[in-house]
Structure 1
Amino acid sequence: MNDLFAALGLAIVIEGLLYAAFPDQMKRMIVQLLALPSQHLRLAALGMAGVGLVLLAVVRL
């Protein structure tokens, strides 16, 4: 359970740093995401989740 909270905390830190360092680019990215069809966004999110699971499995070996 501690690993889960550590990972969530790290994700929040990284996202916060991105918004602090590149606010205008992040705004443009959000506008572009809103223009994407839901199916494309869903597939991209599932793909990234799969990449994350593979990376986690490699790190945990």
Structure 2
Amino acid sequence: MDKITRKNSFGQWFSPINLRVLEENVKTMKLDFYTKKLTTESFLKLLLFAQLKE
């Protein structure tokens, strides 16, 4: 059996991303100024999940 599951792989891909620095940059550049629900962090998670699911 393969020990690497999708949940573990997703955590390994997402763990190197420093969310605190990402949030500071998003606020500085006002990237989420007009968005209500799909923030930069949730978009990044969605993109990584889509890559994982192919």
TM-score with structure 1 setting the length: 0.36
Structure of greater Rg: 1
Larger RCO (CA under 8 A, 6+ residues apart): 2
1 or 2, which has the higher helix percentage?
1
